Structure 1
Amino acid sequence: PNGYDYLSYMNQHSTTEKVDNEDEFYRYTRETKLNSFQRPKIFIPMTIKNVKATFIEKNMFGDNSNMNSILDKYDDIIFLKAMCIVFNSKLFNDLAIILSGEASNGYRKLNKQFLKLVPVPILSTDSQNILVNFYEEISKLRNYISNSSGA
Structure 2
Amino acid sequence: MTLAPFHLAFPVDDLDAARRFYGELLGCSEGRSSDEWIDFDFRGHQIVTHLAPGKAGDAASNHVDGHGVPIPHFGLVLSMEDWQALADKLKAAGTHFVIEPTIRFRDRPGEQATMFLRDPSGNALEFKAFADMGQLFAS
> Relative to total residues, which structure has the larger strand share, 1 or 2?
2
Same fold per TM (> 0.5)? Answer: no
Bigger RCO (CA 8 Å, 6+ sep)? 2
Larger radius of gyration: 1
Please report the TM-score for the alignment, with normalisation by the length of structure 2.
Answer: 0.23
Please report the TM-score for the alignment, with normalisation by the length of structure 1.
Answer: 0.22
